[in-house]
Every structure is written in structure tokens, then in C-alpha cells.
Structure 1
Amino acid sequence: MKKIFYGFLILMGLGIFYYTPYSFYLEPSFWQFRKMCKLNELPNTEEKYNKILRYFDTDLESLDWEELNGRALKLTKGFNLDYIEGRLEYRVKVATIQKRRYDISVDLYTNTNNKGFSKEAITHIETYGSWKTRRYFLERKYMTDFPFQAEWTERDISCTSIKKFN
């Protein structure tokens, strides 16, 4: 009887860790990822740009603007979801961090590319990324399949979901 009780107690303890929100001590990578995503909510100033770029070991002064102008991508209305006429018309990916539990990248935006990307021409900066929760759930493989087939998929948390729920 004791073995059953202790087994049940251990099972309850493991279940609590599955449903507990992300602890600072158990999931430090989540809190680092969350802090990087929260920087998107700051107003668009040079201070915000440098705070974000500091995570990627760079700043506005040390960016290679000629190289960034060569990689600039023109956004198209109706095709790119982040296109805003007169504000977000060109985008360039500056840097990416890939860790074991998360990956995150930063993009710079400008509204005109005739003078190119420069420190003065930036209109917006955004971090994008996802954090692997290591929490798996059963998901139906296809909606039309018969007999029912399921597969285990891992849940990811993105910067947009952090913004939505906090």
C-alpha cells in the first residue's frame, strides 16, 4: 500500500511541474527570451534600438550600413504582413541568436530606400523568435483522416504570444 501511495505522490509531483508556470529557477532561458521580447514594447527611439542590438553584441554605431543596404528587402502590400505604407516599406535582418531552447532575430525597418538604411532612416526595430517549451501534446495529424491518427507535437511560445498574454 505504501508503494502505491508513494508512486501516486511522485506522479502528482511531476504533474505539478508540467502545469506550473515557468519558474525563474527552472526555466532561466524563458525569462531571458521574455525580456528580449518585451523590448518590442518600448517607444521607437535610439535608446530602444541600442538596447535590442546590445543583446546581439552590436549597436547602431558599429553596424555595417553598406552591407545592410545590400541585403535590404522591399516589402509588398498584400504579401508581407509587416508592410505599412509610409512607415515599414523596407526590412533587413541584422542578427540572429540560436540557443538550445530559443532562437531570436532582429529586423530593422525604414520607409524609403532611396537614401538607404542609415542610423537616421530607421523607422522601426522588431525582435522575432520562438521558445521551445518542451511540453508535448497530442495533435490530430489530418482533420479528414479515418481512423484517427495523432502525433506528439511540441508547443512553442513566440514574441507575439508573450505580448498578447502579458
Structure 2
Amino acid sequence: MVFFYFLFFCLSYIIWWLIYRKLFKSQKHISKFLVVLGSIGLIMFYYTPYSYYLEPSYWQFRNMCKLNELPNNEEKYNKILGYFGKKLGDIDDFPHTKKYSGGIDYITLVVYYHQYFKEQEENSLEGKIALHKMASETPKEKYRLDSNNIKSMFLSTSWKSNRYYMDGNEGSGFYWNQEILQCIDVKGKK
């Protein structure tokens, strides 16, 4: 954590130097008070929650994830299928992964049909893996998207925050890693 404060201090010093020397054409030394004030400002900006106006893709991502928390009914299914240009009553013959824009790369549709639970045992680990694999892929059989056939449906997506942090492996060095949020990270947040 001390490293980050040092990094913010240096970054704010460079910013204030550019303002004083380049913008105002001043040759005076920069006040240490302004450097400390600038580093505090940068730290506060880094830890600010996601703003609706600064990062609208986060709020699109958050709204997608909030759909997963709705009860399993026709309204939820139609809202989720709307991202793929489909609605209840259509044939499930489209790819369940779609490229999206902004910080959201891909959205994946996961549909659990009642038929899957007749074919696989839900209690074992292998059965759960097979169920999830069948649900996340486009089905070979052309099921009709009907609320009577569907046991549950949800979107799986992730969002790149463009907030980097120092990470590393034990003994093999450090690197900058990007924070990536999943739907589980925003579950329960207001």
C-alpha cells in the first residue's frame, strides 16, 4: 500500500510540474503542499465508486446482472432474450454467446431446460458439470423457448473496470493486473 501512495505522490508531482512549468511558464519550484493535495485527490479519484456518467458500461453490466436476481417467470425470460433479439415462443437455434460493446466483451446465455434434468443426474459433480455444459451451449435439438420448457435462465458476463493494480506470483516478479468484475461481485449491491 505504501508503494501506491509513493506512486500517487510521484504522479501528482509530475502533473503539478507540467501545470506550473508548461502551462504558466513559471520556473518556481512546486510547493510540497500542492503535491500532497494532488496525491490525495488522485487517491480519492481511484477509490471513487463507479459513476453513472463516467462509466456507463458498468451500469449496463450491473443491470444485466440484476436480471439474474428476478424470479423465474416470463418477464425475466423476455428481458434476457431481448439482448439476443429473441423472445419466448422462438426456436432456440441461435448462438448463446454474443459480442457486446464497451467494457463488456461477451454475454453468454445459460438456459436450463426441464429435459436436461431427465437426462442427467443432478446430485453428482459430473452431473452438475454436464448440466451446465448443456445449458451454456446452443442445443443440438431445436427446443422452443417456452416458459413451460425452461427451468431457469440467466446471463453470464464480466466487465473490465480499467482499474489496474499491482499483482504478482511468488518469486517470479510483479505485473499490472486489471480488475474484472463478474455478476457475483455486484449481487446484493444497491
Same fold (TM over 0.5): yes
Q: CA deviation at 1:116?
A: 5.9
Deviation of residue 55 (structure 1)?
2.7
Structure 1 letter corresponding to 2:177: T
Aligned-residue CA RMSD in angstroms? 2.4
Q: 2 CA distance for matches of 1:117 and 1:109?
A: 11
Aligned residue identity for 1:105: T
The counterpart of 1:126, out of the listed 149, 154, 164, is: 154
Given candidates 72, 95, 98, the residue that maps to 1:96 is 98
| Secondary structure at the counterpart of residue 138 of structure 1 | strand
Could you tell me which residue of structure 2 aligns to residue 7 of structure 1? 35
In structure 1, the partner of 2:115 is 112
TM-score under structure 2 length normalisation? 0.62
**Number of residue equivalences:** 136
Distance 2:161 2:176 in 1: 13
Percent identity, aligned pairs only, is 38
Contact 2:57 2:103 in 1 (8 A): yes
**Do the aligned partners of 2:91 and 2:142 also contact (CA within 8 Å) in 1?**
no
Is residue 159 from structure 1 mapped to residue 183 from structure 2 by the alignment?
A: yes
Do the aligned partners of 1:133 and 1:154 also contact (CA within 8 Å) in 2?
Answer: yes
Deviations 1:16-55 (A, max 9, x none): 1110111111111111110110010111111110011223
Normalized per residue, the structure richer in strand is 1
1:74 matched residue in structure 2: none
Please report the TM-score for the alignment, with normalisation by the length of structure 1.
0.70
Q: Higher relative contact order at CA 8 Å, sep ≥6: structure 1 or structure 2? A: 2
Structure 1 residue 6: deviation in Å? 2.7
Name which one, 1 or 2, has greater alpha-carbon Rg.
2
**Greater alpha carbon shift after TM alignment, 52-61 vs 10-19:** 52-61
Higher helix share: 2
Give the unaligned 5+ runs of structure 1. 69-92
Give 1:117 shift: 2.4
Residues 1:57 and 2:85 are matched in the alignment: yes
Contact 1:56 1:97 in 2 (8 A): no
Residue pair 1:136, 1:154 contacting (<8 A) in 2 also: yes
CA–CA separation in structure 1 for the residues paired with 2:77 and 2:38: 47
